A and B are shown apart, each in its own frame.
Chain A
Amino acid sequence: MDKLMADLKVQIVDQLNLQDLKPEDIGDDQPLFVEGLGLDSIDALELIVLLQQNYKIKISNAEDGPKVFRSVRTMAEYITAHQQQA
């Protein structure tokens, strides 16, 4: 899980072009949207693409989006759960 979260942080910084932010600066439980990292709706779309491209996971239920992308940890947990199901 720790490695997955570390990988996710690198991918988030790269995918969202978060200049001046190092992956290790993102907290495991730091909110990604509104507060914390302050990402917006366009970034949400980018993260959906990130999950599909890197982990072959599609968000089947749109209502799950806010829960899945709340933090790096919740993303990692979702990936782990769905990769096990596959």
Chain B
Amino acid sequence: MLYIRATGSISPQKTFGQAPFLTDPVEYTGNRLNCIEPDYKEIIDGKLIRRMSRIIKMGVAAAMECLKEAAVTVPDAIVTGTAYGCLQDTEVFLKRIVENKEEMLTPTAFIQSTHNTVGAQIALMLQCHHYNNTFVHRGFSFESALLDGMTLLLENPGTRVLVGGVDEITDTSHAILSRLGLYRQELHSTRELFAGPSKGTVAGEGAAFFLLADNPSETDYARLEGITTFYHPRTIIATEEAISSFLASQQIKTGDIDLIITGRNGDEKNDAGYLSLAASVFSDIPAVNYKDLCGEYPTSTAFALWLAANILKTGRLPAAVKVSGQPPLQSRQTGSGEKPGRGPQRILIYNNYLNRHHSLLLVSAC
């Protein structure tokens, strides 16, 4: 069994540091959700920060926060997932190539633009010379990193692995993806994202890191029971079969699941599959959505995992997430010195990115 020992998250919600768990949700207008970022100078050395673009600072800060919570100085492995990588540096580099006619290119932007820069910078700051890998698999980037982290733990008992998912949205990428028809044209509030059939979703970004261990502790967030991915199921039946197969591999039934966190994103074509599943395989299970909080981006499953881990640890659903279907198990907020009430005990995360990259994560209370 694997455990989520600590987390660190920078997102369009107040999730960084000691912020209470989604007690003050941020509502957005328009179709772009940008991260609420801390003062990085308090976290990252000034000599290093000058070279870091926004996504690198986000990833490094989230990772540092996670390690600080776990009281771990140097993890035994760092595994990162990112689909787009360091877009801002990439844009600077490509622009300079065009402007300077492929001459006199500035090295910093190029060096910092590679997808593995976040993982590399974390390692440099920590002087960590252990395993360090970055997965770039579009909508499976974080899932691949998580699976790699889990496999490392199974092969190396007693170690601790830092796993994270990071992606950013820039003006250029937002403009390009808008032209591809990905985003909602008019949205008065993210609270209306799931209000009715509409075309398009909202752009998001975020950085979420987790410290995984294979032995329990008093302060663990959750148990990480399993993960699976499947690509572009042709029919809803194929999706249902993949879900059933995963649950069977975990030796559980749908009745053993207390809550589903779904990757609905407000686009009617994308959400059709989720709604169909809500009426079939998931008909008896309360469901909540999360992309009205963080937006749509390839590694958003990392935010969903952060959300699930915090729900399991606190034993409560924040008001920011709206439940559909049957009400979840009764829960009460923890008081000081009291044991958590019986909130959801087992959560299934089901997400897909643009109807192609589907993933299932199963987490449970410690």
Contact = CB atoms under 8 A, between A and B. Distances in A.
Interface in A10-31: 15-20
Interface residues of A, number: 13
A77 B15 CA distance: 52
Contact of B47 (A15, A38, A46, A52): A38
B129 interface: no
Interface stretch (B106-114, B177-185, B249-257, B319-327): B106-114
Contacts of B106: 15, 46, 49
B108 A20 contact: no
Contacts, number: 26
B49 A19 contact: yes
B108 A46 contact: yes
A42 B46 contact: no
Contact of B107 (A17, A38, A46, A52): A46
Nearest to A17: B50
A85 interface: no
B51 interface: yes
Nearest to B105: A49
Given A17-B50, A38-B47, A53 B104 contact: yes
A60 to B, nearest CB: 16
B107 A20 contact: no
B121 to A, nearest CB: 13
Interface string B96-120: 0000100011111001000000000
Nearest to A58: B104
Interface in B39-54: 46-47, 49-51
Nearest to A52: B104
A19 B49 CA distance: 9
A86 interface: no
A33 to B, nearest CB: 13
B104 A49 contact: yes
Contacts of A46: 106-108
8 contacts: A17-B51, A42-B51, A42-B107, A42-B108, A46-B107, A49-B105, A49-B107, A53-B100
Interface of A: 15-20, 38, 42, 45-46, 49, 52-53
Given A15-B106, A17-B51, A53-B104, 4 more contacts: A18-B50, A19-B46, A49-B104, A49-B107
The 6 closest A-B pairs by CB, nearest first: A45-B107, A17-B50, A52-B104, A53-B104, A49-B104, A19-B50
